[in-house]
Amino acid sequence: MKRLTTLLAAMLSLTAMAEVNYQVVPLPQSIVLDKSGNKTQLVKGQAVAYPAGNALMKRNAEFAREFLGLQPKEAAKKETAPVVLTLGLQSQNPDAYKITVGKKGIEIQGASESGVFYGIQTLRKSVAGEAGDTLSLPWAVVTAEPRFQYRGTMLDCARHFFPIEYIKTHIDILALHGINKFHWHLTDDQGWRFEVKSLPELAQKGSRRPHTIIGSNVGLHETDNAIYDDTPEEGYYTQDQMREIVTYAAERYITVIPEIDLPGHMVAALSVYPELGCTGGPYEVLPYWGISPDVLCAGNPKTLEFIKTVLGELCDVFPSKLIHIGGDESPRDNWKVCPKCQAKMKELKLDKEEQLQSYITKEVEKFLSTKGRQPIGWDEILEGGISDNAVVMSWRGFNGGIEAARLHHHVIMAPTSHCYIDYYQLRNHDIQPHSIGGYVPLSKIYSLDPVPQELTPEESQYIMGAQCNLWTEYVLSPSHVQYMLLPRLAAMSEVQWMQPQDKNFEDFTRRLVPLENLYHQLGYKYCSAYE
């Protein structure tokens, strides 16, 4: 634990804050300071010009107002303001940016509008420790582009519900770190949070559990003796609210990827529609944790009808091409004894129950493709034969991702060993809130290379990126979410943006100090120690 050294470094950084050096998190690829040592003044209230007629660049200029105190100004010519936002940076990578600070002022140029946004974030982080209305910026050319096109973070809003206002703050936090995918886990055994207009009871009833187990349950068979709290957990997102989030995220160049977890993790839905389970129920929205044996019945034709209804509305709300369909932890024991499931296997000439899950995934993929969408599934979707176009999210280690890449399927790496930020971040449990267990310290996340050595260069092209996952069985409030997320998200951000040979943990922890000062200024809760 390095709390004292962190504090000391914070004090040193405050005394040295006069010197802007552009060494933010994630660290840009290249920072070339001008040898002259000259500086340009950035003054609050100065104009920031954006190209006429470009709504996204106008919005970027508004972010420059919010983050840097500048005054947006539509300009036909770029040299008409002290700070200019421009497009046209030559790069294959749409997220690339270049910041030039020199005699003519400050230019933030992007390969596309998203690149300009990331450049503004870098400038914001560069000056975050500076006080006063006039800031001195050394002449420099700063360039960066992210290593991966998919830079994600998952938040589980099913186990605990987080209000829409917090989801916006959460997206602000992702944007600060250059994340561009928000994987929104909306349904699980313990709560259904996605409004389906044609099935109104699903969210109304499925989003509520009257109480929740206190502490960890040891196993599903022991929950009868468990102690429960008296606090109902409830809440769901209306379609209007989710559309608002899609827009809010898009302005920050973040795509919202919703997840409906199927065919397992469905008990909240089964509690409303028990006929969709193999046993017929009754079921209750689960007030405890773990893997439930109760999953959707694969042999009941109503099951696919239900899935299509839900996913149809999901696609109406979320424009993302990628739609997460879960697929994890779906026990097949009920399928083995269910007459409907067994009849379905006979009809399809299947000899293993895992092929029944593949059958569902393939049907779902067909349905999504009629809407121009593509499924992502947890790595269990490889079992029983993967569908044609599914993206694999490798969570039980790297092997699922390796197998998928070799099958020429795209992969997102999120192994528990490096990416599960519901795990403890410090060895000493007494000084952290109760968690699900495990141990993923800051240094472990930082050490991740999402591209396994075993893959050939050709296979490596299938690794789209990485993400960290925050499950919330034991995460009870927005500030608790932030404590689990920060600063581990900062480490993930360097995994996502930097080339592996440029990463250096010691250097990262020095650059973390001003970022944590910014967390403090913004009122974000974070874990101030790290290992």
Binding site for Zn ion (CB under 5 A): 278, 297, 299, 338, 340-341
Chain position whose Cβ is nearest to ligand ACM: 328
> Quick one: tokens of 54?
């470009």
Minimum distance of Zn ion from residue 399's CB (angstroms): 29
Minimum distance of ligand ACM from residue 432's CB (angstroms): 20
Among the listed residues 29, 21, 9, 8, the one whose alpha carbon sits nearest the alpha carbon of residue 499: 29
Q: Which does 244 bind (CB under 5 to 8 A by kind): ligand ACM, Zn ion, none?
A: none
Residues 230-259 that bind ligand ACM (CB under 6 A): none
Q: Which does 276 bind (CB under 5 to 8 A by kind): Zn ion, ligand ACM, none?
A: none
Is 188 assigned a catalytic role?
Answer: yes
By beta-carbon proximity to ligand ACM, the closer residue of 306 and 395 is: 395
Active-site residue, selected from the candidate residues 62, 329, 354, 363: 329
> CA-to-CA distance for 206 and 218, rounded, in angstroms?
24
> CA-to-CA distance for 427 and 324, rounded, in angstroms?
33
User: What is the arrangement of strands in the sheet containing 47-51, beginning at the earlier edge strand?
Assistant: 30-33, 140-144, 97-102, 105-110, 83-87, 47-51, 71-75
Q: Which does 340 bind (CB under 5 to 8 A by kind): ligand ACM, Zn ion, none?
A: Zn ion
> Quick one: tokens of 441?
């310290």
Among the listed residues 114, 106, 117, the one whose alpha carbon sits nearest the alpha carbon of residue 141: 106
Report the residue from 34, 62, 244, 328 that binds ligand ACM according to the rule CB under 6 A.
328
Q: Is 483 in the site for ligand ACM (CB under 6 A)?
A: no
By beta-carbon proximity to ligand ACM, the closer residue of 266 and 515 is: 266
Q: Is 329 in the site for ligand ACM (CB under 6 A)?
A: yes
Q: Which does 329 bind (CB under 5 to 8 A by kind): Zn ion, ligand ACM, none?
A: ligand ACM
> CA-to-CA distance for 455 and 452, rounded, in angstroms?
6
Angle formed at CA 392 by CA 445 and CA 499, multiple of 5 degrees: 40
Q: How many CA atoms lie within 13 Å of 493's alpha carbon, on the beta-carbon side? A: 25
Residues 398-437 that bind ligand ACM (CB under 6 A): none
Active-site residue, selected from the candidate residues 160, 170, 185, 265: 265
By beta-carbon proximity to ligand ACM, the closer residue of 118 and 395 is: 395
By beta-carbon proximity to Zn ion, the closer residue of 229 and 275 is: 275
Q: Which does 299 bind (CB under 5 to 8 A by kind): ligand ACM, Zn ion, none?
A: Zn ion
Among the listed residues 29, 175, 153, the one whose alpha carbon sits nearest the alpha carbon of residue 93: 29
By beta-carbon proximity to Zn ion, the closer residue of 28 and 327 is: 327
Binding mask 281-320 for ligand ACM (x = CB under 6 A): ----------------------------------------
Minimum distance of ligand ACM from residue 182's CB (angstroms): 17
Q: Is 397 in the site for ligand ACM (CB under 6 A)?
A: no
> CA-to-CA distance for 467 and 429, rounded, in angstroms?
25
Among the listed residues 60, 171, 184, 81, the one whose alpha carbon sits nearest the alpha carbon of residue 124: 60
Q: Is 395 in the site for ligand ACM (CB under 6 A)?
A: yes
Buried b / exposed e along 412-427 (16+ C-beta atoms within 10 A): bbbbebbbbbbbbbbe
By beta-carbon proximity to ligand ACM, the closer residue of 141 and 436 is: 436
Residues 6+ apart with CB under 8 A from 430: none
Residues 6+ apart with CB under 8 A from 84: 48, 49, 50, 75, 78, 105, 106, 107, 108
By beta-carbon proximity to Zn ion, the closer residue of 127 and 338 is: 338
Residues 360-379 that bind ligand ACM (CB under 6 A): 378
Minimum distance of Zn ion from residue 356's CB (angstroms): 9
Q: Which does 328 bind (CB under 5 to 8 A by kind): ligand ACM, Zn ion, none?
A: ligand ACM
By beta-carbon proximity to Zn ion, the closer residue of 303 and 493 is: 303
By beta-carbon proximity to Zn ion, the closer residue of 51 and 299 is: 299
Q: Which does 296 bind (CB under 5 to 8 A by kind): Zn ion, ligand ACM, none?
A: none
Number of amino acids touching ligand ACM (CB under 6 A): 4
Is 265 assigned a catalytic role?
Answer: yes
Q: Is the dihedral of CA 284, 395, 157, 288 positive or negative?
A: positive
Minimum distance of ligand ACM from residue 186's CB (angstroms): 14
Minimum distance of Zn ion from residue 299's CB (angstroms): 5
Is the Cβ–Cβ distance between 93 and 80 less than 8 Å?
A: no
Give the number of other Cβ atoms within 10 Å of residue 291's Cβ: 13
> Quick one: tokens of 170?
């959460």
Q: Which does 378 bind (CB under 5 to 8 A by kind): ligand ACM, Zn ion, none?
A: ligand ACM
Give residue for tokens 């109104």. Answer: 200
Is the Cβ–Cβ distance between 233 and 213 less than 8 Å?
A: no
* Three-class SS state of 104: coil
Active-site residue, selected from the candidate residues 95, 113, 145, 188: 188
Residues 6+ apart with CB under 8 A from 374: 321, 322, 323, 365, 368, 389, 390, 391
Q: Which does 253 bind (CB under 5 to 8 A by kind): Zn ion, ligand ACM, none?
A: none
Is the Cβ–Cβ distance between 254 and 182 less than 8 Å?
A: yes
Minimum distance of ligand ACM from residue 395's CB (angstroms): 5
Q: Which residues bind ligand ACM (CB under 6 A)?
A: 328-329, 378, 395
The residues annotated with a catalytic role in the active site are 188, 265, 329
